[in-house]
Amino acid sequence: MAAQRDPTTLSNYGLWRTRHTDVDFRVDFDGKRLHGAVTLRLERQAAEAGALVVLDTRFVKVTGARVDGDGGGAAEWELKPHQEPLGAPLHVTLPEAVVAGTAPGATVDLVLDVETTDRCTALQWLTPAQTANRKHPYMFSQCQAINCRSVFPCQDTPDVKSTFRFRLASALPTVASGVPVGDHAPAPGVEKVYEFEQKVPIPSYLFAVASGDIRTRRIGERSSVASGPDEVDGCQWELERDMDKFLEVAEKLIFPYRWGEYNVLVLPPSFPYGGMENPIYTFATPTIISGDRQNVDVIAHELAHSWSGNLVSNASWEHLQVWLNEGWTVYLERRIGAGLHGEQEFDFSSIIGWKALEDAVSQFGPDHEYTKLIISHKNVDPEDVYSTVAYEKGFHFLYYLDRLVGRDNFDKFIPHYFTKWAGKSLDSFEFKQTFLDFFNGLGDESLKQKISAIDWEDKLYSPGLPPKPNFDTTLAKQCYDLADQWKDSSFEPSRKDIEGLTANQLQVFLGAVQERKSLSAERAQKMGAVYDFISSENVEVLAAYYRIALEANDPTCVYGVAELLGRVGRMKFVRPLFRALNDVNRGLALETFAKNKDFYHPICRGMVEKDLKI
């Protein structure tokens, strides 16, 4: 029997494994549901695999099950009791004639009639009033980490990969995580079927669909951007300068892009993440569209996921082997940035990341289990574990290995690693063995001595911050120097202080000021007014400033914070701002949440409820 490594699934994928998935759904905006049929092509893994197939579900309505093909017909099924946080396992008993006629390696097509419910955690349904032009409703999915099971029964684990075919009937233009097939011309108000194919096997969390008043524009030879009709031209301008450059640098570093198209869907503002690396169509927050091209590095990150995460996946969520996904992606993102803007950009981005890692470790506590790369625990929702730690501590482990063996040698390892594991999932221990086998195989005795000295136990299991590298602070020095001037309460700021600073440099400056916690409310107000942070269109800068103002107990900032929390749903900003606002004015924090909770995505809403202890 194939090993089952992921404890966040209740399925028996070690006995029956999904190899292909067909979804045939209608997007019902009036009923706020997807309904139709899903077909799972299940491969028998072992002779001892019996007639029972167990699938993950969470608040999905199942109305029928059958097996197509010889010996097929109706299949018995039962939805077992719900188990938090993993959901209710669906037990399907295959017809005896089907099981008796199959051997290991044979496949069975299981068809399930399903519909989503109002407790679905993967879908957000927006009313016309919640969209930019207020004319049409909108729906989008977010299945990472274990939310696909609330769309349809599946083996909801990154340890299982499947090809996909989508048939989605909707009255509004639709995109999905596959290559478009057939006619996709927008026809708002006219129901039509939108088809997509995903020929590269993907895990269930990369299932994605969105439907709304969507328009597209080209941003590169292989890339388009999609967004609302009033926003799409601005999105095109923001992304078209760099898209082909990102692809060129990434392909040179790893190997050619394997997914055909790379497109970006800029979603309405309630999208809870900076970006979601759904294949073919990255789903992105509108906060990257700032009118200054200062936040497009998010796209470099999501593009890098095309290799790390999508092509080569972590086998488990619960043990935070997601560092193999996110740590690699941050490393590749920074290499892409260095390829475009020089090596100093790599270190500068790493400085910003280090501050985010410090904040995450401080929030959990330096000895907390969730600050390790590998976490041992059971029956925990991966959303509760997910944090910057996987991204930045994972990056620092890879950056440590890069420096240990040397950049030239590590650059030889990168394509080897992604070629060896392409189309597969792995855990931390398989990564370790792949690394050791590669460098021991080079026959270089000095390299062998270096890698033999790696304390893998310490790197993978120690909590808290890793050793801080000596970053090149050239691009950060001006930011630090300005922050030092703010230590002196008699310093008189001028708009000229920040002339020529990029948005990322402003973030480093604000991060340094926040770290010192030395501003009075009056000084925080002056900073916001003189540097005009309070009217910034760049949400990264505005949110960073508001963190300082809240910590300074500036009573004038709270209503600006509440206004921002009413128009941005990205958890990177929403969660820390709610926590800080709660410390200053709990009443306003609760009032702001109550006013906007239906605006937030279910994942974001649930996490803020935990942050506010509601």
Closest CA to 270 of 132, 416, 454, 435: 132
143 is in an annotated binding site: yes
Residues acting as catalytic residues: 302, 391
Q: Is 407 annotated as a binding residue?
A: no
Was 276 annotated as part of a binding site? yes
**What does the alpha-carbon distance between residue 274 and residue 543 come to, in Å, rounded to a whole number?**
14
Is 273 among the annotated ligand-binding positions? Answer: yes
Please tell me what DSSP assigns to residue 26.
E
**Residue 287: CB partners within 8 Å, gap ≥ 6?**
269, 274, 295, 539, 540, 568, 570, 573
Q: Is 277 annotated as a binding residue?
A: yes
Give me the residues paired with residue 37 across strands.
24, 113
> Which H or E run includes 506?
helix 503-516
* Residue 326 annotated in ligand binding: yes
Q: Is 571 annotated as a binding residue?
A: yes
Are 178 and 280 in contact by the 8 Å Cβ rule? The answer is yes
Per the annotation, does 305 bind a ligand?
Answer: yes
Do 90 and 80 contact (CB within 8 A), yes or no?
yes
E-assigned strands of 405-518?
Answer: 424-426
Does the annotation flag 479 for ligand binding? no
- Cβ partners under 8 Å of residue 157, min gap 6: 6, 8, 9, 11, 13, 56, 203, 204, 316, 317
What the block records as the tokens of 33 is 């549901």
Order of strands, sheet of 123-126, starting from the edge strand that comes earlier in the sequence: 123-126, 138-141, 209-211, 174-176
Residue 272 is assigned to a ligand binding site: yes
Phi, psi of 362 (to 5 degrees): -65, -40
Q: Helix (H) and strand (E) counts for the chain?
A: 21, 22
The two three-digit tokens of residue 338, written as one number? 């260095």
Q: Is 516 annotated as a binding residue?
A: no
* Orientation of helix 445-452 relative to helix 394-405, angle to 10°: 150
Q: Are the C-beta atoms of 18 and 148 separated by less than 8 Å?
A: no
> Mutual orientation of helices 474-485 and 343-364 as an angle, nearest 10°?
50
Classified as helix, coil or strand, 581 is helix
Query: Both tokens of residue 503?
Result: 């948005």
Feature table: binding site for a peptide: 142-144, 272-277, 570-572
**Residues of the binding site for Zn(2+):** 301, 305, 326
Give the residue numbers of the binding site.
142-144, 272-277, 301, 305, 326, 570-572
